[in-house]
A and B are shown apart, each in its own frame.
Chain A
Amino acid sequence: MYHRLTLIGCAAVAALVFGGAASAMAQQWGDLEMDFVLGDAFKAEKIVPDKDVAFCGKHPLFRENVVVDPATKGVKNVAVYLLATPGKKVAVHPDYEKTAKDEVLLDNKDCRYEPHVLALRTSNTLVLGNSDPIGHNMKAEFFNNPPFNDLIPAGGKVKKTLKAAESAFVPVQCSIHGWMGSYVLIKDDPYVGISDEKGHLVIKNLPVGEHTFIVWQENTGYISKPVKVNGKATTWARGRMKVTIKPGANKIGKVELTPEALKLK
């Protein structure tokens, strides 16, 4: 009984403290949503493995520099992330605390890296895994973090803490199997969205107000050639898109990428 009372007491104090803080700040949050599609027809290039053919040859492999869903024309793995202003800390929604210390897996699976584009926070741990029965290696060169190049044994894993934020996506590559690679972004804040198979992208719970986002795609880097946003020609100089986030949903709509914007021609 005594314990329960103490607990209730504590909870009440906590509610007072946090509730008070929240109402004082009155921070409001909004979600950013976008859909990326490619206007033109696209066919992914097939990869014929030249190493570990017995194992890798069993899996259909395609170049993943541009991934388009044939049905919806959605472009996968386009990333949009909040541009960090030096010296300025961005408000982070409490929901993100749950995942702040998570391990984020970059796996070697069926002779490709999974996921192909990933983002993590400086508070997360990157786990380099290998679910394949063959050995792989993972090599990355960062701007602000020490590089790594580790051999990941079959069934093994290696953990990496990357303490410094990077301003751009950094490639991770396998030196043994040249086609294998991923892109990783390390940020202090959690505000990154990566488009799914259908080209849909969402960044949840951004602090309201005007923000600059970077729009990035592996094949072209910053998307800086004209694109059509809901049919209207738009250019994001150096991939920078300014959006004023309002409370609730902020739907940018359909972004039609041209082959030129993706450097396909």
Chain B
Amino acid sequence: MNRSLLILLAATAGGVALAGCGSPAAEYRRYETFAHKAAQDAGIEKLKASQLSEVDDLLAAFYGTPDEPAIPAVEDADIASVLSLPLLQMAAGPVGSDEQGRPRGLYREHCAHCHGITGDGNGPTAAFLNPYPRDYRPGKFKFKSTPVGGKPTHADLKKVLLEGVAGTAMPSFKLLTDIEVEALTQYVIYLSLRGETERELIRMQAELDLDSEPNARLVNIVTENATDEERQLQQEQMAAVKEKIATVVNKWTGAMDASVEIPPRPEMTPEELVESRKLGRTLFYGSIANCVKCHGDSALGDGQLTDYDDWTKEFIGEGKDPEVVAQYVALGLPEPRNIRPRNLRMGIYRGGMRPIDIYWRIRNGIEGTPMPAATMKPDGDPNAKGLTPDDIWHIVNYIESLPYESISNPNDAAERALERMRM
């Protein structure tokens, strides 16, 4: 046996040893910011360590671990319609492949460095990105065809993975296979469900009355010689936890086909399009659509610069108390940044550049942000204030023209656009 072979053998043995016991298994990170907030809201200083570890234990029982995900077993929800275990397993765990050569650990390969193992938007690179990566745990997603408060449809979520988010660090994953994109989409839903469940369980803990019952738990531990009553109580407690999880899951199962229907974009001659843009411009500056208030007098996105998105605002409110901000940053909240209305002269639209994408943003608003949904004029009431679908198409047409409009001489923009179309 020559010397180089010996070195190779030693190196291999070392490698095996490292893989076997060197790196600890990945763990989910606790939702410390929310635990603090829930305690504050409930008028108590903080949750006890035992309360938080009970939340950890319940989450592990229902959702498994980052290496071995589980689908929560709850009766009142059709969870199989949103999640499939083999696909979750493909996305979970360390990067590699199984005996058949199928990929494993897709989430850690493609997503975790920004979104974090937990899906808390707090991966190692997160602090360096602007905007920050999405934290899935509050269960809110911006770019979708459903109204505020509804979950994105499966297609909405998949589109974000396939197309990426223009103007941000989120790339397109079109080069992955269909099944891989599907696995990752489901894994995002899984992490989001887990996060929303964590919030619910933390809130349940915060509502327990520990003053009168210092050892109260969400679910009592039943010993072998427990009485029937104790067993009964424990079953009721477990049922209450499962009901909360079912509520979280049902928001997803119900939303899968809840896209807001959009009447087709009216066909227009170039002249009509110019007219439509003018109408859109009037609406943009008017008090019914009110776009100008935040997107600014020149649509540069400089009308409202002091607000925060919900992921931040939930904890720091208006952000006026530096002590509160510091407290939450210490608990893992990314350093707060103000949310910027889109600069509409850039021609970069995070939720997609198709006319229908822009329509959806105006019609439904953008969840988790200050962007509100348009108020639609109800049928049969000509005096009611609101927009018609045609009005929204006018605004879409105007917005699409903005990147080409000269700020210094906006009046000739319509004419020049017409010229371009005739060319």
B293 touches A51 (CB 8 A): yes
Q: Which residues of A contact B375 (CB under 8 A)?
A: 150-153, 156, 158
B372 touches A146 (CB 8 A): no
Q: Does residue A94 face the partner (Cβ distance < 8 Å to B)? A: no
Give A121-137 interface residues, CB cut-off 8 Å to B.
Answer: 133-135, 137
A222 touches B43 (CB 8 A): yes
B374 touches A221 (CB 8 A): no
Q: Which residues of A contact B209 (CB under 8 A)?
A: 238
Contact partner, A143, options B203, B307, B367, Cβ 8 Å: B203
Q: Which residues of A contact B293 (CB under 8 A)?
A: 51-52, 135, 176
Q: Which residues of B contact A222 (CB under 8 A)?
A: 42-43
Q: How far is the CA of A150 from the CA of B148 in the complex (A)?
A: 9
A147 touches B149 (CB 8 A): yes
Q: How far is the CA of A139 from the CA of B207 in the complex (A)?
A: 25
A148 touches B149 (CB 8 A): yes
Q: Which residues of B contact A224 (CB under 8 A)?
A: 43
Contact A153:B290 (CB < 8 A) given known A137-B370, A148-B148: yes
Q: Does more than half of chain A's interface fall in helix, strand or loop, or is it mixed?
A: loop
Q: Does residue B176 face the partner (Cβ distance < 8 Å to A)? A: no
Q: Which residues of A contact B287 (CB under 8 A)?
A: 133-135, 153-154
Q: Which residues of A contact B44 (CB under 8 A)?
A: 238
B289 touches A238 (CB 8 A): no
A146 touches B148 (CB 8 A): yes
* B365 (CB) vs chain A CBs: closest residue: A149
Contact partner, B307, options A151, A152, A175, Cβ 8 Å: A175
A175 touches B43 (CB 8 A): no
Q: How far is the CA of A221 from the CA of B44 in the complex (A)?
A: 11
B150 touches A221 (CB 8 A): no
Q: Does residue A10 face the partner (Cβ distance < 8 Å to B)? A: no
Contact partner, B386, options A143, A153, A239, Cβ 8 Å: A153
A178 touches B374 (CB 8 A): no
B384 touches A156 (CB 8 A): yes
A149 touches B371 (CB 8 A): yes
Q: Does residue A141 face the partner (Cβ distance < 8 Å to B)? A: yes
On A, residues with C-beta under 8 Å from B are: 51-52, 133-135, 137-139, 141, 143, 146-158, 167-168, 175-176, 178, 221-222, 224, 237-239
20 further A-B pairs in the complex, CB-CB below 8 A; given A149-B372, A151-B374: A52-B293, A135-B288, A135-B293, A137-B290, A138-B372, A139-B372, A146-B149, A147-B148, A150-B365, A151-B289, A153-B288, A154-B288, A167-B207, A175-B304, A175-B307, A175-B370, A176-B293, A176-B294, A237-B43, A238-B211
- Kindly list the 5 A-B residue pairs having the minimum CB-CB distance in the complex, ordered from nearest: A146-B149, A175-B370, A156-B385, A135-B290, A222-B43
